[in-house]
Amino acid sequence: MHPGIIGAIAGSVIGIFGGVVGTYFSIRNTNGPKERSFVMKASAVTWVAVVTFLCALLLLPAPYNHLMWIPYGLLLGFGIRKFNETQKRIRDDEFNERTES
């Protein structure tokens, strides 16, 4: 088999494995049911968005496929920030609920 094909397959498998492990530990390290629910939903949205981006990258003809990096980069930064803010708010709310009881 050609080394480039082996590298592409190995890189894809490692990338998917990293995403699965990251998703697992993100869900596992939550502190309460509301936070866990949010992280599960956010993870599903992220997986769909990344798969959609990769499909567009592979299926659109050049140079349009390269233009997909612009919205991906902007939405990725926005999404990470929003995810972290929402998760912190939920975590704080759940902590306050536990301490008030």
Q: How confident is the model over 47-91, as pLDDT tens digits?
A: 999 999 999 999 999 999 999 999 999 999 999 999 999 999 999
Quote the number of domains for the chain. Answer: 1
Expressed in angstroms, the distance from the first to the final Cα of the chain is: 63
**What's the pTM value of the predicted model, to 2 decimals?**
0.86
Tell me how far apart the alpha carbons of residues 89 and 27 are, in angstroms, rounded to a whole number. Answer: 16
* Residue range(s) defining the domain that contains residue 49: 3-100
Asked if 68 contacts 60 with a C-beta cutoff of 8 angstroms, the reply is yes
Q: What percentage of residues in the chain have a pLDDT greater than 90? A: 91
